[in-house]
Structure 1
């Protein structure tokens, strides 16, 4: 038995332990639209992702807006118990190998990508080929993953543009945005990640959006990558984002989709549930409603990342009582389902694995 399998089995003792009774809060009503009509999606959910949070949980779906939410759920005062082994602030794949270390074909690809990002996002990469602009514009499946990696940033204003990354972790995307010429600020609740980002020279604050209480019109662009599902009050946070955005500013959000094919296939073992850290899991309907309710307009759905095989593999591993980082081979049946979900997602926004959306604050 592998270490991760053994760890998963031992974690059953954690699941049987109750969450502190004085650390639970009941909702009864939808945290997005306030409706009390709902249906039960799953009972007995456990932390089969990080194996550190005690308790078993119920997930409900709002009849009106189709958002999914835990009820009861951990209170703000005790939610930190669910993050004791959280490790999502590690380095991601935005950092690149040095140009000199690449082979000939990869050097060409890097030059083409750099040519496009210099034109599209205002980077100043030296090894660049302008032919990349033409290729990217002509071939959407080449262009869109690059745009997504850069979170669909607009070109910064010549007079300077400010960006806020809520849930910035150790500042990986702050580095990307700064390379595009943006003045960047980050906020994160993890003190270790904040210290690392600060050590790398970024202005990063420990806490939440509440550090900007009483202020307005501060930023041109706000991004939240896999943050909104962790919030106790998403509507308040979106309203705060609206307040501190400058008129005409843009918000960018990426979050798991409760109506995805992956959730349909794997149910309680879908990696996107991540109980009990994911308190409110959006659908396309609920996320659009949330943004409109918070004052945003010009909502635009963007193509999600090519995460299907990875998400299906993690979910399959969880269905086998393993850690989602186990190295189990993905059976052909599930690989085919991942391939099917990927291409159906091109046409059905509401069934994509992740929802990626931008919206704007009115100019007046």
Structure 2
């Protein structure tokens, strides 16, 4: 520990001398380049960027540098430094939900249960809808939790999971993997309730019965009853695509998204993100993982080959993805249904088309890159949308898709409980996503699966706390993470 402390002192002295005589703007730009241009796997450059930002924070009191110290320290698992920076930020912004959540995560990593619980409860006091934080509280408190009812699906899953995997992962890793394999092999969800409920819902005016979107088949078998209120999740016997059946009508979906997504608090958070560097891997600021993936697939060479670099983000939300591509020199446009988000992004100078893709007629076309980040699972006709996107793209253009993976390890462990999100209509495996992209005319370049953004979903939290951090790395090595990343090209 003494040697590590001395190394950090030397790094700080070097960084101070390296930026001596440079303006604060130049020093910040240099540190920012180190942090953003290098792969997240290059720890030495991350450490160099961390030290540079820390010097700027200590010397100038620069808040943006403080944000970067917190983010980089967390990525490097330097939790004492991350804790110091996070606490300092919360002194200035005590109501920051993002940093209160991070405070809880740090205490979790340090094994400090009570401070973690207190931080998560402060998050819920400010944002009662933070499902990931609710799940973390269930995991930390076990069956004794008074924060979430024992009837909650998360409580039930936690109880079942701990019962079925009582083993010390540090002492017997092989046994852990055998237990995991047995756990999801034996999980056979009942189909009878699903079929009965499906028949009842066919007469509901808010639902519409339709053939499989991928193959046109009309034969389905039950997979699960989704969510607390229950809705049918079915698998097509022809192609294997999992989908709600019957489906909500478009009118039902549009009304729901306009009413529930992107409220005032969400826009305020986005405003801060647009005016600052990304501050972490939360669902709102997922770009570091996205950009790492795209850079690994040759984004820089692709950018060099395109003359205009025109991008369209489908379901752009608050525009976090567009903001970071704009920084890279792209001309960015987006589609969105939420009026607050549309108004906010137009204030920021973006071209935003209002409505769902299938109903928008005046898109410019010739896009070099089209992105659908956690959108394809929400739309009623994903194959139709992909075909329209194909017609709007320039030859050789890229399409980038992210969506929860129905063949992930967390989904297999959770069984029926994985289908908890009432807004998801389709559930893709790597195979069904590839088949759909190819059916739309694309040539698939890569399909990967990583452990989800922020390490905050309840599947990850249970695995992390119950089985140890090494399992998360193993899950990604097996390409069985809970988020699919798909990259495809329009043939020249």
Task: State the TM-score bracket (shorter-chain normalisation).
Answer: 0.5 to 0.7
| Per-residue CA distance 1:182-213 (angstroms, 9 max, x = gap) | 11111111111111111111111111223554
The residue that corresponds to 2:413 in the other structure is 265
| Per-residue CA distance 1:85-116 (angstroms, 9 max, x = gap) | 334965479768679xx9xxxxxxxxxxxxxx
- Alpha-carbon distance in 1 for matches of 2:463, 2:312: 42
> Is the 1:94–1:149 Cα contact (8 Å) retained in structure 2?
no
Please state if 1:160 is matched with 2:308.
yes
- SS of the residue 1:253 aligns to: strand
Q: Which moved more, 1:237-246 or 1:255-264?
A: 255-264
The offset of 1:21, in angstroms, is 2.3
Q: 1:235 to 1:187 in 2, by over 3 A?
A: same
- SS of the residue 1:65 aligns to: coil
The residue that corresponds to 1:26 in the other structure is 209
> Is the 1:188–1:206 Cα contact (8 Å) retained in structure 2?
yes
> Is the 2:209–2:245 Cα contact (8 Å) retained in structure 1?
yes
The residue that corresponds to 1:86 in the other structure is 261
Q: Which has the higher strand share?
A: 1
> Is the 2:262–2:318 Cα contact (8 Å) retained in structure 1?
no
2:398 to 240, 250, 257: 250
The residue that corresponds to 1:148 in the other structure is 293
The residue that corresponds to 1:283 in the other structure is 429
Please state if 1:67 is matched with 2:198.
no
The residue that corresponds to 1:274 in the other structure is 421
When normalised by structure 1's length, the TM-score is: 0.67
2:474 to 333, 343, 351: 343
How many matched pairs? 287
The structure with higher relative contact order (CA 8 Å, sep 6+) is 1
Superposed, which structure 2 residues align to 1:224-239 within 5 Å? 224-239=372-387
- SS of the residue 2:250 aligns to: coil
Q: 1:37 to 1:175 in 2, by over 3 A?
A: same
The offset of 1:26, in angstroms, is 1.2
- Alpha-carbon distance in 2 for matches of 1:339, 1:310: 17
The offset of 1:266, in angstroms, is 2.0
Q: Which moved more, 1:75-84 or 1:236-245?
A: 75-84
Q: Which has the higher helix share?
A: 2
- SS of the residue 1:77 aligns to: helix
- Alpha-carbon distance in 1 for matches of 2:406, 2:420: 8
| Per-residue CA distance 1:8-60 (angstroms, 9 max, x = gap) | 77x99xxxxx9892111112x322222233321112x23x5xxxxxx530101
The offset of 1:304, in angstroms, is 2.9
The offset of 1:336, in angstroms, is 1.6
Q: 1:150 to 1:273 in 2, by over 3 A?
A: farther
- SS of the residue 1:78 aligns to: helix
The residue that corresponds to 1:354 in the other structure is 483
- SS of the residue 2:345 aligns to: helix
> Is the 2:334–2:352 Cα contact (8 Å) retained in structure 1?
yes
- Alpha-carbon distance in 2 for matches of 1:149, 1:188: 23
Q: 1:235 to 1:30 in 2, by over 3 A?
A: same
Alignment gaps of 5+ in structure 2: 1-120, 129-133, 135-145, 153-199, 280-287
- Alpha-carbon distance in 1 for matches of 2:310, 2:452: 29
Alignment gaps of 5+ in structure 1: 13-17, 49-54, 103-142, 317-329
